[in-house]
């Protein structure tokens, strides 16, 4: 069982707060060539994926900007190689949904069963500041239409900005199968820094999100992620569980657990198009680093946690006595009240 990430680094405009590798206003010709390069890289590396592909994630950027024909060509090629893929997710910026029936048609054509929509916030003054547009009603209708057609939705929100109550009301009214609440992080540029509250306020906001979404039937299964029962992101769960993944496209990362290798393609569309099979770098991971990363990622899984054998028993007991850790099904979990000091706890445990 393997998982595949495909990076589609195209956006209409670069959002000023976003650090992900993406390029605005790329020509149609480059997108066509990029699609061919993705297919070439996939062919070159598909042996790494084994016999069965469990999940495929089309991320970005704004993947729909690759163009419908290119997306269909790409997904068809992959599905010709792997017949049954359990979960196929695509990210979308609300501004690129367009006509919702046409959007649905494309999703069905691609075989997508999960759409991740970057709502971010409902506060108009913040949307203006971060240069985003949102039609709240349209997103609600899109979720309803997708659900009616067997497609789950995830909503991305950013917190640490204003108006958490309105945002929480909105997401619970939309009731998508999955919600990600990311803490708004920015380089210390004054314009944004002036709207970022203190750490204390952020901790209170985190608690509020946890309480409100838990009371609304969502399971807080990862520090930044909530889902309705059995609606975890299978793709992202594999990252947190430290399983191998293959990433293709400019800027995409891969992790080959058996070889203890991390590899990443250069964040350069031109170089990628020239030769998608050679423009990458690698890092070999030693035992200590692997252990640290396993602890760091595993502790983020608030319901599953990590195996006790990875941790120092004395330190576990100390943190357990202070109420920072819990035990469940033979695993060690971080207690929700300790999440704000998670970095310190990870340091102590690794």
Give residues in contact with ligand SAM (CB under 6 A).
17-18, 20, 60-62, 91, 93, 118, 120, 156, 158, 182, 184-186
Contact 282, 262 (CB under 8 A): yes
Cβ proximity to ligand SF4: between 91 and 232 the closer is 91
Among 63, 94, 118, 276, binds ligand SF4 (CB under 6 A): 118
Rounded least distance, CB 18 to ligand SF4, Å: 3
Position of minimal CB gap to ligand SAM = 118
Distances in Å between the Cα of 235 and the Cα atoms of 64, 70, 136, 148, 241 are 19, 23, 27, 23, 10
Distances in Å between the Cα of 190 and the Cα atoms of 185, 196, 242, 328 are 13, 10, 37, 44
| Number of neighbours of residue 261 by Cβ within 10 angstroms | 14
Cβ proximity to ligand SF4: between 60 and 160 the closer is 60
Cβ proximity to ligand SAM: between 2 and 225 the closer is 225
* Range 12-31, binding ligand SF4 (CB under 6 A): 14-15, 18, 20, 22
184 binds, among ligand SF4, ligand SAM, none (CB under 5 to 8 A by kind): ligand SAM
Cβ proximity to ligand SAM: between 209 and 325 the closer is 209
| Number of neighbours of residue 182 by Cβ within 10 angstroms | 14
Tally the residues of the chain.
Answer: 350
320 binds, among ligand SAM, ligand SF4, none (CB under 5 to 8 A by kind): none
Cβ proximity to ligand SF4: between 14 and 76 the closer is 14
Identify the CA nearest to 8 among candidates 217, 220, 252, 228: 252
264 binds, among ligand SF4, ligand SAM, none (CB under 5 to 8 A by kind): none
* Range 212-251, binding ligand SF4 (CB under 6 A): none
Contact 243, 199 (CB under 8 A): no
Phi, psi of 204 (to 5 degrees): -65, -40
Piece in contact with ligand SF4 (CB under 6 A), picked from 7-15, 176-184, 240-248, 289-297: 7-15
185 binds, among ligand SF4, ligand SAM, none (CB under 5 to 8 A by kind): ligand SAM
158 binds, among ligand SF4, ligand SAM, none (CB under 5 to 8 A by kind): ligand SAM
| Number of neighbours of residue 241 by Cβ within 10 angstroms | 13
Among 3, 6, 8, 11, binds ligand SF4 (CB under 6 A): 11
Cβ proximity to ligand SF4: between 20 and 82 the closer is 20
Rounded least distance, CB 217 to ligand SF4, Å: 28
Phi-psi region of 93 (alpha: psi -120 to 50; beta: other; left: phi over 0): beta
- Reduced to 3 states, what is the DSSP secondary structure of residue 75? helix
Question: In the chain, where does DSSP find H-type helix?
Answer: 28-45, 68-81, 100-110, 124-129, 136-148, 164-174, 190-193, 199-215, 234-240, 269-274, 287-298, 313-321, 342-349
Q: Is residue 328 part of the contact set for ligand SF4 (CB under 6 A)?
A: no
Cβ proximity to ligand SF4: between 17 and 245 the closer is 17
Q: Is residue 93 part of the contact set for ligand SF4 (CB under 6 A)?
A: yes
Rounded least distance, CB 333 to ligand SF4, Å: 31
* Range 28-67, binding ligand SF4 (CB under 6 A): 60-62
Angle between the N-to-C axes of helices 28-45 and 68-81, in degrees from 0 to 180, rounded to the nearest 10: 10
Q: Is residue 301 part of the contact set for ligand SF4 (CB under 6 A)?
A: no
Cβ proximity to ligand SF4: between 251 and 298 the closer is 251
Instruction: Tell me the two tokens of residue 50.
Output: 């084994």
Inter-residue long-range contacts of 207-210, CB under 8 Å, 24+ positions, other chains counted: 208/164, 208/168, 209/159, 209/164, 209/168, 209/181, 210/336
Residues that bind ligand SF4 (CB under 6 A): 11, 14-15, 18, 20, 22, 60-62, 93, 118
């Amino acid at each position: 069982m393997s998982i595949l990430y495909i990076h589609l680094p195209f956006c209409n405009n670069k959002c000023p707060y976003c650090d992900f590798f993406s390029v605005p206003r790329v020509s149609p010709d480059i997108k066509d060539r990029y699609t061919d390069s993705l297919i070439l890289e996939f062919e070159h590396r598909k042996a790494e994926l084994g016999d069965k592909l469990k999940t495929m994630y089309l991320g970005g950027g704004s993947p729909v900007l690759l163009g419908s024909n290119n997306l269909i060509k790409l997904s068809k090629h992959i599905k010709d190689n792997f017949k049954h893929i359990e979960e196929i997710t695509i990210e979308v910026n609300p501004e690129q949904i367009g006509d919702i029936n046409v959007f649905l048609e494309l999703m069905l054509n691609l075989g997508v069963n999960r759409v991740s929509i970057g709502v971010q916030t409902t506060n108009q003054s913040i949307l203006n500041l971060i240069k985003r547009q949102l039609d709240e009603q349209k997103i609600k209708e899109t979720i309803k239409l997708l659900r009616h057609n067997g497609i789950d939705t995830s909503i991305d929100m950013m917190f640490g900005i204003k108006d958490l109550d309105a945002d929480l009301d909105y997401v619970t009214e939309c009731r998508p199968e999955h919600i990600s609440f990311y803490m708004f992080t920015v380089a210390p540029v004054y314009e944004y820094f002036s709207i970022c509250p203190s750490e204390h306020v952020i901790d209170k906001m985190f608690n509020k999100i946890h309480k409100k979404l838990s009371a609304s039937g969502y399971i807080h299964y990862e520090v930044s992620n909530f889902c309705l029962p059995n609606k975890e992101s299978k793709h992202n769960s594999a990252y947190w569980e430290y399983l191998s993944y293959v990433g293709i496209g400019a800027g995409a990362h891969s992790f080959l657990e058996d070889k203890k290798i991390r590899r990443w393609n250069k964040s350069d569309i031109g170089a990628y198009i020239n030769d998608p099979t050679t423009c990458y770098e690698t890092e070999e991971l030693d035992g200590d680093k692997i252990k640290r990363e396993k602890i760091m990622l595993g502790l983020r899984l608030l319901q599953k946690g990590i195996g006790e054998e990875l941790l120092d028993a004395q330190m576990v007991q100390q943190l357990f006595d202070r109420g920072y850790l819990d035990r469940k099904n033979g695993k060690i979990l971080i207690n929700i009240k300790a999440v704000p000091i998670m970095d310190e706890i990870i340091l102590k445990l690794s």
